[in-house]
Amino acid sequence: GENVEQHPSTLSVQEGDSAVIKCTYSDSASNYFPWYKQELGKRPQLIIDIRSNVGEKKDQRIAVTLNKTAKHFSLHITETQPEDSAVYFCAASEAGTALIFGKGTTLSVSS
């Protein structure tokens, strides 16, 4: 089955810096890659996703890149703000089946 690895497990940046979180997946059949943000004690919130027919997608300060050949995808947050502090999870799935999550990255943005 699918296995998703996520790095780093923790990331500390200064406000205004960029943050990059990387994930790799094992199943070449996976074609949907969402990123969720989870604040303490709250539900995972979808912040951006990418499908395998594109290589990059951007939404304001957040972007995701996908390299299908290498089976990895990354989340890029620019101009980080304290409210970006949370746990970020990547996930992979094939055509709407189960989401397989990475272990999460705790992002801390200090002002």
Partner 1 sequence: EPEVTQTPSHQVTQMGQEVILRCVPISNHLYFYWYRQILGQKVEFLVSFYNNEISEKSEIFDDQFSVERPDGSNFTLKIRSTKLEDSAMYFCASSRQGDRETQYFGPGTRLLVL
25 lies in the site for partner 1, by CB under 8 A: no
Q: How far is the CB of 79 from partner 1 (least distance, A)?
A: 26
In the chain, the amino acid numbered 58 is K
Handedness of CA 53, 2, 36, 65 (dihedral sign): negative
Q: Which residue carries 């999550």 as its tokens?
A: 101
Contact with partner 1 (CB under 8 A) among 24, 86, 89, 107: 89
Do 59 and 32 meet the contact criterion of CB atoms below 8 Å apart?
no
61 lies in the site for partner 1, by CB under 8 A: no
Where does this chain bind partner 1 (CB under 8 A)? Answer: 32, 34, 36, 42-46, 49, 51, 89, 91, 93, 95-104
